[in-house]
Structure 1
Amino acid sequence: MSVPDRRAQLFRMEEARRHTQRQFDMIDRQIMRQMTAIIPQLKLQRIGHRRRNPADARALLERYRLKLAAITLQRQHEIDALSRKLARQDAAIKALRARLPPNLIRA
């Protein structure tokens, strides 16, 4: 394969990796959007009488973590698949860059 063909292939591979990363980021944004919508429902809950005992922030944080884990678990198969795909793409790009002359590789 000629150098221009390898450079074109490298460009296509890098573009495919950027697309995969955008998909991964989109899932992350969707999870964060869901969590943002859930936060008002979690509310700080007071223990005992409202004036004597302050709200329990630890309980709020625990409820938040449980909800986040549940939502993330629903999307875990997509997250895992995209993570594996990104790893494969990174390895392929690294291998192709190793075959190109150093002065023709753009950062």
Structure 2
Amino acid sequence: MLTLKINTRRNWMLRDAKTDTFHPLKAYLNFADGQKQNRTLWWFVSLMVHGNLILALPAALIYYYNAPIYILPITILGFFANLVANMGGMSIRVTLTSFFTSLVVNLAMLLIYVL
């Protein structure tokens, strides 16, 4: 049984230098995988943010800023898609992606109609 490698120095010298590049998708997936133990917390955060902030957004936009009525089904669709993803037992990647997508879409609608 050979436990010592005699030619380690030569193998070390032949290795290629790695260049680290930033990949936003890989960084997001690593973040999502790291949040696996916090699934319940993310479910509650998603439910509270959607229920208290996001679902009130169309009413304010329609009443104060004369936004069109089609923003209401977009918001409701995002809420229920997120609710089904969380309660349906989807992976944490799907849960976080649906939450952040719904959040970004609703913030974009807010910026479009307020500015």
Normalising by structure 1, what TM-score?
Answer: 0.37
Normalising by structure 2, what TM-score?
Answer: 0.35
Which of the pair is proportionally richer in helix? 1
Higher relative contact order (CA 8 A, sep 6+): 1
